[in-house]
Amino acid sequence: MCGIIGYTGDDERAVLDVLLDGLSGLEYRGYDSAGLAISNASLSVYKREGELSNLEAVLPEGLDGFAGVGHTRWSTHGPPSDENAHPHTDCQGRVAVVHNGIVENYAPLRAELEARGHTFESETDTEVVPHLIEEHLADGADPERAFRRTVERLEGSYAVAAVFSGRETVYATRQASPLVLGVGDDGHYLASDAPAFIEYTDRVIYLEDGQFATITPSDVTVTDERGQPADVTVRRLEWEPEDAGKSGYDHYMVKEIHEQPTAIRRCLGGRARELDGSVTIDELTDLETPSSVQFVACGTSYHASLYGARLLRERGISAQSFLASEYDADALPIDEETLVVGVTQSGETADTLSALRSANRAGATTLAVTNVVASSAARACDHTTYIRAGPEIGVAATKTFASQQVALAMVASVLAGEFPRSFVEGLRDVPDDVQSILDTSRARSIAEQYEDADAYFFIGRGYNRPVALEGALKMKEITYKHAEGFAAGELKHGPLALVTPQTPVFAVIGADDASEKTLSNVTEVESRGAPVVAVTDSPERVERHADATLEVPDTHPCLTPILANVQLQLVAYHVANRLGRSIDKPRNLAKSVTVE
C-alpha cells in the first residue's frame, strides 16, 4: 500500500534525486499524498496531498543533505491532507519518521504523550512514533537506542524508517510489512519494494520481521531485536531497470497485458516438458500428494485460486478456495496431510499472510505461489513456487493473473500426477495463443460500442466462472463502472432482474460439456434485450446468439480461461482509456495491500 524510500550516500547532492526517483518508482502501489525529509544541518521536511507533482512544486532549489526518507501514503488514519502526509516529526523537529502499516495501540500512546505535553499535528497513528523517539532522546538515549526503545512500544504491523537532524544515518525496522535494503557502490538504500531503487543497484537484502537496519554511506548493518548481528544474504534481482518502464506504451497496464506471452514463457520454462508430456517443479519434488488442499487468497489471486482448486477436484483431490480475510483454520479439518496454498502476487498481502500463519499453527503444510523472491509469504511457507512474471507496475493485475493461472495448472499437475499429454501440449502453446489474441483482438471496437453502458455483467461456468469474476473486477477497478461476475446458472436466481438493454453481458463459452447450458443462459438475457458479447473458441456455435464475439484459439478446455481472460483485460482497458480514467493508479486502490 504505502511506499517508503530511504537513502544515504557519498554525494549529498544526490539525496533529493534518489528520493524523488524512488517515490516515482513507488507510485504504482497507489497513494494519495507524498512527502520527504532530508537531514542536513537541521531537518528539511516537505509533504503534500495529491500526486507527486504537488510535492515537487514546493521543493526549493539546491535542497541537499546527508540522508533522507520519502513516503507515498494510502490513507488509513485520517483523510488525505498535507498534515496527514508523511513524514511526521517530533515537537522539536529533530527526527522525521515514515511508516507503512498500522500502529494498533496508537490511541493510548497518543493520549499518554499528549498528557505529557506533546502537540500533534495530524490524525495519523504514525505520529506517535517521532514523539516517543523524542522522549527517549530527552532521557539521554542516542538515536539508535531511542529508535529501538520506541519500536518496543509499538503493536501491530509496521515498516518504519527514521532520519535525525545533522546525521547521515537512516534507521529502519519491520514487522509484518515489507522492507528491502539496496546495497550500492556509492550509497545504500531502503524501500518497500525494489523498483524504488532498481536503477541504482540490483543487490538487495530482504529484512525479516523483528530485524533492525542501520544504513550509512559506507555500510549496511542488520541486527536482531537484541542488537546482535543478523545472518543476512545479499541477493541479485533478476530484472533490469527498463523492465519497470512503459517502453512506449501509453500505460503500464497495456504494456503488461502485451508482456503476457513473455511472462508465461518464463513461468513455464524448465517445468512443462512437451516431449514426454510431463510437468516438473523443482521446488516441489519433495512435496507428497496431500489429502486435501485449501487455497487462501484475495482479489485477483482468489480468482486464480478458484481455477486451481477446480483443476485439483477434477483429478480427485479435495480442494477449496477461501478468501484469506475469511479463513479460519481452527474451524476447518486440518492435519499434516493438508496443504494450504497462499496465492499472492506480492507475497506481502496481509490477509493472506495471516491465513498462512494460522494454517502453520494448525499443523498444515504450506505452499506460497508468488511473484516476489524472498517475500514474506515465501519465507513463511514450507514450499514456494514462483510465477516468474517479472515486475508489474499497474495496480490492476494482468500478467500476474495469467502467470498465476499457468503456475497453478502446473502445481495441479504435480500434485495430481500427470495430466493428459494434450494438456501439457496446450500449456506450451499458451504464450503463442495469447500473442495471437493480442495481434487480432476486436476488443477496442467492442469497447467503443459499449462504453456508455449502465453496467456490465460477466458470466461463465466451470473453469470459466473465475475468469468471469476476474473480468468484472478488471472493469470495476479501472473504469469505475458497475460490473458483476456470476456463475452463468445463477443469473436466473436473482441477477436477471438487473438485466436491461443497457447492460451488456460478456459470456465466456468454451468447447466443453457446460457450453450448451451457458448458451441457454445467454438466451435468457437475449430475451430481456441485453446485448451479448461471447468470448469463445467456437464462434460458429454462438454467432446466432451473440451480438459480437471475441475469439480465442482452440486449446485444451481447461486452458481456455487463460486465453479468454486476455480478451476481457483488453475490453476493460479500452473502455477505461476512452473514459479517460487513471488506469495505472485507480482511485482508492493500492497494488500491495499490507494491512488487514
Catalytic residues, by residue number, are 2, 591
- Which run of H or of E encompasses 518? helix 515-526
CB-count burial class (<10 Å; 0-12, 13-18, 19+) for 265: middle
Closest CA to 469 of 483, 451, 454: 483
Cα separation, 188 vs 191, in Å, equals: 11
Between helices 421-440 and 260-268, what is the axis angle to 10°? 160
All cell numbers assigned to 169: 544515518
Peptide bond into 87 cis (omega under 30): yes
Where does 149-226 show beta strands of DSSP type E?
A: 156-164, 170-175, 180-183, 187-191, 203-206, 212-215, 220-223
What is the DSSP-derived secondary structure letter of residue 194?
Answer: G
Where does 184-265 show beta strands of DSSP type E?
A: 187-191, 203-206, 212-215, 220-223, 235-236
Considering only CA atoms, give the Rg of the chain.
Answer: 25
* Residue showing cell 524501500: 191
Render the burial of 405-415: b for 16+ CB within 10 Å, e for the rest.
bbbbbbbbbbb
How close are the terminal C-alpha atoms of the chain, in Å? 11
Cα separation, 19 vs 255, in Å, equals: 26
Sequence-separated (6 or more) residues with CB below 8 Å from residue 47? 33, 34, 35, 36, 55, 71, 82, 85, 86, 87
Render the burial of 22-58: b for 16+ CB within 10 Å, e for the rest.
bbbbbbbbbbbbbbbbbbbeebbbbbbbbbbeebeee
Cα separation, 375 vs 372, in Å, equals: 5
